[in-house]
Structure 1
């Protein structure tokens, strides 16, 4: 067994570089996140989700004309095929939205005219349709499970606006729609996390984009990856009836219990995305008259940071999930749709990584991921164990 394999065994590939990428970069010590060379702060303040999606897919910011054409393509792809609507209506109304989303992506594949296309342009076209239709699936399912008919897309509305319209059946407040668009920008990519690596690993087999995205959604559905903001909101709802929130936080930390939304596998300081969501939570609290959620989240943050600092754990700070929870809640989005919204955003990054994996420039990179494992099971020598007939076994 090689020394290289020994050095990375049983660490979940943490710190192991498995491929080059030009899509995004993280400096966890300094709290830096970059998409294609652009700081997340500038993109959150000045860009839109579809402009960022173009940037991730194409590698450069679009001209005005390029962005307009891209937006029109996304709008043209919003309509769900009827067979998908029919399938959604046949599903149990208690189905988890992430399971529904994952099941829907393969059903979208046969409707895509570029499915058999091997070139980059065909893959970009598939990505555009997925960016357009992921919100439509989530919104349609939420209405169907509540006994309502899915709504057609409105081509006069921008991306986040249209999702809120199809979700709720009423034209959204422009400021709230803009805030949701910023949320989508903040979640659009995050290098080789579990779901992105799942997408790239499947893409390395030369499976089509829909198969790779399905794998990514499956990875995101796991409790160690997606869903943290759902649990943060559950914590805040519980704290609404707690008389002494400060003491509750201290007790949690004293007993070694986790504070949901605090700490990150990569960032050793505050998550740069959390900065924008924290300010957004304050503004939304005032706008919607739900300031208690902003107050509770900031109280938990303040006490937790103080207590972690006292214990020499200054690297534990709020992550993107901590403040996205009250933000989505104040927008009126159901808790079990928080993770699908993550997917609605991350689809831009997933597709970009799939395309990069399929058309990698590095000639020395094997096409197929094939890690090696160390066998630690039963061993009876090179000839193997002696097979005994079933009647002879005890």
Structure 2
């Protein structure tokens, strides 16, 4: 069975590629960049598509299609996640690779952008099938990844287990242990403390700084989070630890709402064995659509793309939207929120905590010197706060919302490096 990635399964889906290119063009116009340089940045440097035959548990062979898009390596090795999800398309992966370029540039990390993925439902496969799928995919990419070439990481549908399989497969292929080939690994094979919660922690830091800009403390602030996976759950726990009141969280089944605040630690324990929030007894049931329109200080869309659209942007009542997911707000929705005075913390800033700690893990792996969690979190805090400060200063200087301010900084840094390096040959 060959799975095609040519078309999105949802005809109403707005591909992040449209969002990524629109934001690039807007930044280029503000910065008055050379059209040739913009054309270079619009086009991925390398697109890899491989066939992945896998023997399933019933003995049948299924053939999956795997992609790795390497967008830009002007600032350093390619960096980006590996996504296992039924909605994966080549076009989506290409746009997310571009987003990674801007994210790394904005945070001042010496990486370029990449992204990979397989259109597969990982929950429909056994652990053995997933391992065979991951190892075969990695073996097809051995010549195109590496600690100084392209460093994959977890994404939707993947985690530390898959990264360990990737590292082991690559290491067996090159003949020596190579902990720097991937990040997001288990601690036992060179992972970093603090990595699991890093993206969620970054969302909290960015939200805190935005609240402080508006003269409001995180303590006592009301928070609604769509998505209770790796990012949303970690963010919810840290928000609660910092004294914020998390009034709503949701997963694919729906969510729970309590205006007085949910017990996030208890909810995290409840879903640990695979239970769904719809069956929890806490608070009252709320749909994902309703959660997005709750009155709150901070709304965190931390699920998938295209959650706040032209259809519901006018109903968003949050003061701040912190993009925990990649491209959860469409172009038209962004315009509506901007006109209504809603502060949007763009994905290339708000959810950059994961790539920051991935970078710190990579540095630790190359040096074989590992840090405690306090040091990792301190470095994450410094980089996130510095990036937010630069974006805010850019926004004030050019009278821009935070998204175009962030993009002008990120795109400008890459173009500056492109001009200084020159065009080979």
TM-score scaled by length of structure 1: 0.27
The structure where strand makes up a greater share of residues is: 2
- Tell which has more relative contact order, 1 or 2 (C-alpha 8 A, sep 6+): 1
* Structure whose residues are more often helix by fraction: 1
